[in-house]
Structure 1
């Protein structure tokens, strides 16, 4: 990993600064929204706009890159992000915030595509796994550092918004001054959503409800803390616990997923998360309970996304994995757009602590559907499944595709070591109900 860091330290430094800016954005807007008197239902519109923009950016960025190139796309999008961050403080109005969040989400999607393209292009077969792991660590470290920075100034003033803008602006330098020649951005073989659902119903249903969970983690967690009356320090610790949970449990869950029926693991993980989220609704007056629920939310929610991708890949031809992952990302994005509206309505119309009811419902629905799917078809043998590759829910299609390439390479190396030939596609009797 030190070799990877030595070769690409400037890219990782730029990404760290970008993630610090983005991590500040979600928490700071949740705090400032409460100061401005915006209720949870109003903030739901603001938070949802980011995911709508991110989804649009993931679809349109390849077109921009094909016309003007990686460097110009990165410079233009990062500049717009920096300007958007300043506009939040200049005009604290929910309509403007929603428009800025839409733009910022679109641009961050494009920035991630460009950065991940450079990282993937610089990685070799031997270093791709380490590059992906370091990328995930940098993402998490950036968000956690942002939670510490939130305590350094008054969220009702300008300083933190200026800091966000400065962090993104500074990130330009190490990335643009150190990158290798721009990589080729290639499209993937298309796959319709119907084809994807017929191949992996649980993958599609799980990805949709995972979108609602992800939107709650990344968008509405700070809004919940502000509505709950938590202090700035407590909100930053709560949001930080979500990402610490995701970091610590990503690899143990990945290790398990390579050694057992992934569908069973998905169902039991989600059932366990639902069993914790629901009681937290009634015990949320204790900050320790809120903190534990946040840790479990991140610890199950973040690995769940990668687990759903790996499970779906078990039923796909290797050449279809990138298209299948892209389809899951689109479904996940749709769930993320819808999620804040539901949780915002629950928090405003029923009660703030129904934030956890929403999470319990999403986890519970995935678990119930997973258990039902167990009655519909047999699971593939463990030695016929693709390797698990960690990837965060906010990753772009480039990182997801790189993770799938790494999983295929790992599976091929494992088969070669065992002297067996791995099937290059899902068994015929496992591709349908």
Structure 2
């Protein structure tokens, strides 16, 4: 039975955690600086979306790059490029250049997420894959949560904030150096196109797309939804944080459950739970304790859908096919995180604020339908 290479795993988790910290810091810092310059929210949204388009642009090529340069070489290059693209934002106020730099940054994130997710699946033993992947996703989310607090704490105290954020990414390099060289890279293994693996992962791709939609809407529109439901502004702004806390706190529990009960059962059960919980959102807004509990449960179950999609990738694919599958997961993320808030915001404006839970419910229902279709087709993993 395969044993867990703890040194490689801890090094990978520490590196991706630092990346999460840098990512969590650069997003609010970019929005803050643009707002301080009097830039409208429409332009802020476009520049923010440039990162998602960067992820989309890079992910189709990641498996080819890994086949040529190895996973560690690609990750080292992406870490250095993300640090440089962030630091260069300190040197210009040109909005077009900022958009380009955020595009490059997003492309680097696409490389790091794709390879990191494939790598942790390669390291994980079959009988504990749920717990191992959960530790990986929990570490990333936890560090990402710290990022905005770091920006708030250092606001006005650092002369070159973008340069400081760029330097954060460089802290991931020592961890990468500790990982065994080319731990799962086989130079003789041919490149695998994403087209070859996509038909075998509808539930996985839709699960990743749903959580990307959920995550971006929770961060961008959920506080506004809470305010419109009559929740005071200070508490409404905490709503997104509570969702992320639920996501962070319970991932290991869901991973443990998947290892002991079966990944498919837990995965599908989380989708059904989200479908049950979302219609309660409008009714919970008038009862604070119910509102917070509901948000915690939604964050936990929606986050588990994404985490278990990564687990399913590791169970279903290996080698270059696993890298290609991870690239599809990140492409799904890029598509819904860039377009989802725009569509949902328009629907909320034209049909009412409850378009938010309605859109999320439709996404969760599609995921459950894909799970049912895979079950009928006899998928086993």
Mark yes or no: TM-score above 0.5: yes
Quick one: distance in 2 between partners of 1:61 and 1:226? 37
Quick one: distance in 2 between partners of 1:131 and 1:305? 14
Quick one: distance in 2 between partners of 1:361 and 1:330? 20
What does residue 250 of structure 2 align with? 249
What does residue 400 of structure 1 align with? none
How many residues align? The count is 368
Q: Is the 8 A contact 2:53 2:103 kept in 1?
A: yes
Quick one: distance in 2 between partners of 1:116 and 1:310? 9
Name the CA shift for 1:272/1:9 in 2 (closer, same or farther; >3 Å). Answer: closer
C-alpha displacement at 1:379, in angstroms? 6.6
What does residue 421 of structure 1 align with? none
1:192 to 190, 195, 209: 195
Q: Is the 8 A contact 1:23 1:146 kept in 2?
A: yes
Q: Is the 8 A contact 2:67 2:191 kept in 1?
A: no
What does residue 337 of structure 2 align with? 336
Name the CA shift for 1:154/1:42 in 2 (closer, same or farther; >3 Å). Answer: same
Quick one: distance in 2 between partners of 1:287 and 1:44? 30
What does residue 109 of structure 2 align with? 108
C-alpha displacement at 1:299, in angstroms? 0.9
Residue deviations 1:46-91 (CA, integer Å, cap 9, x gap): 3333223223323223444555566664444323322332455655
Structural RMSD (CA):
4.8
- Greater helix fraction, Structure 1 or Structure 2: 2
What does residue 142 of structure 1 align with? 143
Residue deviations 1:215-251 (CA, integer Å, cap 9, x gap): 435xxx05754896956x985x544433332233334
Quick one: distance in 1 between partners of 2:372 and 2:128? 36
What does residue 168 of structure 1 align with? 169
Q: Is the 8 A contact 1:264 1:371 kept in 2?
A: no
Residue deviations 1:134-192 (CA, integer Å, cap 9, x gap): 433431331132243233033898665343222113333x1365444344255565563
Identify unmatched segments of 5+ residues in structure 2. none
Q: Does 1:14 align with 2:19?
A: no
Name the CA shift for 1:32/1:223 in 2 (closer, same or farther; >3 Å). Answer: farther
What does residue 181 of structure 2 align with? 181
Name the CA shift for 1:188/1:251 in 2 (closer, same or farther; >3 Å). Answer: farther
Name the CA shift for 1:180/1:52 in 2 (closer, same or farther; >3 Å). Answer: same
Identify unmatched segments of 5+ residues in structure 1. 387-433
Name the CA shift for 1:358/1:126 in 2 (closer, same or farther; >3 Å). Answer: closer
Normalised by the length of structure 1, the TM-score is: 0.63
C-alpha displacement at 1:106, in angstroms? 0.7
Quick one: distance in 1 between partners of 2:276 and 2:42? 26
Quick one: distance in 1 between partners of 2:349 and 2:41? 6
Q: Is the 8 A contact 1:208 1:331 kept in 2?
A: yes
Quick one: distance in 1 between partners of 2:114 and 2:326? 15
